[in-house]
């Protein structure tokens, strides 16, 4: 902690789980620009900026783009309390959906003895999960399309060489593994499984292994990916990421 209760950017990143790159990006686009600096020009975040960051993340969870969030927060007519109330309503709705899903899974019990209506409901649940995963995969494939997502020239050369080492067959295997893994994570999340349970930790290890296989373990490339996804995440993706992140800790 710095004087007067301010936080350096690294301290704020550790306290919130956000990356330093994300906080710097928020500053670059004028979304969260701390008014205080140290003598060496390091950012210092006050209580005012922490409150604003809470509003940013609340609106982001509702699906707003960073540009829309900036417009909302810079509008004097906007009530911070109204922002939080919208976020609370969104979270409550997701909780209701997951509780209803868990209740139906418990009621299903023995598949052989389940009624036709129950089986149809589970099939629909499975399809809903597939639709969510398909939407997430569409977002994932779009990463790299925008200028701010671009890797550096050196990183692109490394990734090209990495792809040649792995081979096209393995690349396709990894690409096909992602939807299956994401669906498995969503199922556990909607069942209400503790993220620290052995089965979810195993899924988190698979997740990390797939990312590492793409990045070759390079933290800078992983950080670029995380920031690119952070700019695109739908509320469903954010919820899944928060869930699997707990299992990774």
- Domain stop point among 73, 106, 124: 73
Residues 127 and 229 grouped into a single domain: yes
CA distances from 111 to 98, 119, 123 (A): 21, 8, 12
Q: Cβ distance 180 to 229 under 8 Å?
A: no
Interstrand relation of 43-45 and 36-37 (parallel, antiparallel or unpaired): antiparallel
Q: Is residue 83 part of a domain?
A: no
Q: 78 pLDDT exceeds 50?
A: yes
Percent residues over pLDDT 70 in the chain: 76
| CB count in 10 Å sphere of residue 45 | 24
Domains contained in the chain, number? 2
Phi, psi angle pair for 44, to nearest 5°: -125, 120
Position 196 scores a pLDDT of 92
Whole-number Å distance between alpha carbons of 135 and 51 = 31
Burial class (CB within 10 angstroms; exposed 0-12, middle 13-18, buried 19+) of 222: middle
Residues 117 and 237 grouped into a single domain: yes
Domain containing 28 equals 3-73
CA triple 172-178-179, angle to 5 deg: 110
- Domain stop point among 45, 73, 101: 73
Percent residues over pLDDT 90 in the chain: 6
Residues 51 and 105 grouped into a single domain: no
Residues 134 and 199 grouped into a single domain: yes
pLDDT tens-digit series, residues 102-120? 676 676 666 566 666 666 6
Residues 126 and 244 grouped into a single domain: yes
Residues 150 and 102 grouped into a single domain: yes
Q: Which of 51-65, 109-123, 189-203, 229-243 has the highest mean pLDDT?
A: 189-203
pLDDT tens-digit series, residues 31-68? 999 988 888 888 899 988 998 888 888 787 666 677 77
Residues 57 and 140 grouped into a single domain: no
Position 166 scores a pLDDT of 80
Mean pLDDT estimate for the chain: 78
pLDDT tens-digit series, residues 142-183? 665 555 556 788 988 888 888 888 877 777 777 778 888 888
Q: Is residue 17 part of a domain?
A: yes
Residues 43 and 149 grouped into a single domain: no
Q: Is residue 208 part of a domain?
A: yes
């Amino acid at each position: 902690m710095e004087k007067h209760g301010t936080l350096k950017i690294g301290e704020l990143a550790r306290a919130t789980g956000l990356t330093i790159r994300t906080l710097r990006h928020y500053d670059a686009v004028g979304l969260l620009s701390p008014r205080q600096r140290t003598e060496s020009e390091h950012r210092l975040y006050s209580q005012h900026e922490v409150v604003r960051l809470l509003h940013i993340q609340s609106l982001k969870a509702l699906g707003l783009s960073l540009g829309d969030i900036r417009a909302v927060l810079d509008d004097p007519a906007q009530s911070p309390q109204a922002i939080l109330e919208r976020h609370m309503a969104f979270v409550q709705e997701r909780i209701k959906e997951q509780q209803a899903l868990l209740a139906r899974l418990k009621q299903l019990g023995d598949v052989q003895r389940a009624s036709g209506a129950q089986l149809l409901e589970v099939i629909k649940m499975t399809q809903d999960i597939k639709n969510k995963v398909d939407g997430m995969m569409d977002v994932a494939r779009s990463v790299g399309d925008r200028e701010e997502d671009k890797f550096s020239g050196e990183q692109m050369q490394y990734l090209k060489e990495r792809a040649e080492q792995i081979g096209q067959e393995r690349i396709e295997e990894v690409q096909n593994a992602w939807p299956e893994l994401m669906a498995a994570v969503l199922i556990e999340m909607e069942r209400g499984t503790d993220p620290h349970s052995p089965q979810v930790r195993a899924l988190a290890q698979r997740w990390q292994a797939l990312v590492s296989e793409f990045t070759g373990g390079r933290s800078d490339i992983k950080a670029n990916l995380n920031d690119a996804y952070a700019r695109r995440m739908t509320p469903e993706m954010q919820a899944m990421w928060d869930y699997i992140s707990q299992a990774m800790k």
